[in-house]
Structure 1
Amino acid sequence: MEALNHRLFFLINAPAHPDALMVSFARGLADELIWLVPLLLIYGWLWGNEQRRIAMLEATVAGLAGLLANQVIALVWPHPRPFMVNMGHTFLRHVADSSFPSDHLTLIWSVSFCLIMRKHFRPAGIAVALAGLPVAWARIYLGVHFPLDMVGAALVAVMSAWLVLRGERLLIDVCYRPMFAAYHLLAKPLIRGGWLNE
């Protein structure tokens, strides 16, 4: 499996002297595209109805659960990044920690899979999932991840989303109702002014 992982990595990883524009483009995808996820979640909460807010909360919890699972996996099975074993070419600064699974993709896909599993929000979830593909490519191209790190992220993301949706009722009672009450109290002037949804 590791041999396949390495072969796929060399197929995607940048050459020793890549085009500067391509590297800049890949860096933008690798580090900046992920910010669309919190923006989507915040937008969905501030300008959504109750159904949408619950979906945004579930997606957020799924993302956080996925990241927590990654930390546990890294403790149990630390896997070096390509540059830590002098493999390929690296064009993105990154701390020398475990590469498996990818945190970026876990967050993106945990959110997207959680939305996909709810019929009403499936189109948005598919769009977020597709946005994760160029992020995955960029992080391999720039030499900070292996391809199987992305497969691991997908598996963690599916499990995180599934577990969160299984506990939906508890999540609504424990988290959503107090959060909505706090939001309604803090944002009351903006709600009254029509700037935010009630």
Structure 2
Amino acid sequence: MNPHLYHTLYGPESLNFKLFMAINHAHHPLLDPVMEAMISLGGSKIVYLYAAILLCVGLARRQWLPLRYVGLFCLATVLGLGLEELLKGIAQVPRPGLAIGLDRIMVLGEVKLRNSFPSGHAIFAFVTAFTLSWRRGAGWKVPLYAFAVLVAYSRVYVGAHYPLDVTAGAVVGICSGWVVWKGYEAFAGRRGRQREG
């Protein structure tokens, strides 16, 4: 990232930096285990477990969770995580532990020092929320987006990412889900018109 842009977005005078310090230093003994749990529950490393659970639910209760939701969740996750790698390679923003110093921040979990922008946890959490709640009511949207927001917040709380990183991750996750769903609907609509014709 351009040094001037980096200083503007991540420097000590930036809102991003100030928000990071405020959230990261607002630790509470009751919150710490919850935020540490979010590291595992919101991480893309368990995407296979999520996919397997969703597939089982989809096969058992197709009216409740049609299988297209499972397939599009997997596809959107691949797209989102691919964009994560691309953007991290381009931006190369150091993590707070390296940029600010491990002695000045609160760190829970694994210490990482490179590739802060965007947050992969936020991408995965928002891909999950968006794809599984597409065209569904509040009963789906509220818990899924609450989970996604909690995952994103936890990444700042545990000292792994800045607020800008998780915001960008949320945008990438939502956009990935939107592209996949719109592509699917366009394809399904075209197939439907061909059958009618």
Give the TM-score normalised by the residue count of structure 2. Answer: 0.73
- Whether the 8 Å contact between 2:95 and 2:116 is mirrored in structure 1 is yes
Runs of 5+ unmatched residues, structure 1 = 173-198
Q: Which of the numbers 106, 110, 119 marks the counterpart of 2:127?
A: 110
Paired residue for 2:59?
A: 46
Identify the match of residue 114 of structure 2 among 78, 81, 97.
Answer: 97
Q: Spell out the pairing of 1:150-161 with structure 2 (5 A cutoff).
A: 150-161=166-177
Task: Find the aligned partners of 1:111 and 1:22 in 2 and give their Cα distance.
Answer: 23
Amino acid corresponding to residue 41 of structure 1 in structure 2: L
Range with bigger deviation, 127-136 or 151-160: 127-136
Equivalent residues, number:
169
Tell me how far apart the structure 2 counterparts of residues 142 and 56 of structure 1 sit (CA, whole Å): 30
What is the CA distance between 1:125 and its match in structure 2? Answer: 4.0
Cα RMSD for the two superposed structures: 2.7
Is the 1:60–1:111 Cα contact (8 Å) retained in structure 2?
no
One-letter amino acid of the structure 1 residue matched with residue 148 of structure 2? G
Which one-letter code corresponds to 1:77 in the other structure? Answer: A
- Give the alignment of 1:1-198 within 5 angstroms: 1-2=9-10, 3-14=14-25, 20-32=29-41, 34=43, 37-38=50-51, 41-49=54-62, 52-85=66-99, 86=101, 88-119=105-136, 123-168=139-184
In structure 2, relative to structure 1, the CA distance for the partners of 1:126 and 1:33 (3 Å cut) is same
In 1, are the aligned partners of 2:96 and 2:159 still within 8 Å (CA)? Answer: yes
Change (3 A) 1:162 1:66: same
Sequence identity of aligned pairs in percent? Answer: 23
2: CA distance, partners of 1:67 / 1:84: 23
Question: What code does the residue aligned with 1:131 have?
Answer: F
TM-score (norm 1): 0.72
Once the two structures are superposed, what CA deviation does each residue of 1:112-142 show, in whole Å capped at 9, x if it has no partner? 11233323x7632442221122222222111
**Residue identity opposite 1:26 in structure 2:** M
- CA 33–104 in structure 1, closer or farther in 2 if over 3 Å, else same: closer
**How far apart are 1:73 and its partner, in Å?**
0.4
When residues 117 and 96 of structure 1 are mapped into structure 2, their CA distance, relative to the original with a 3 A threshold, is same
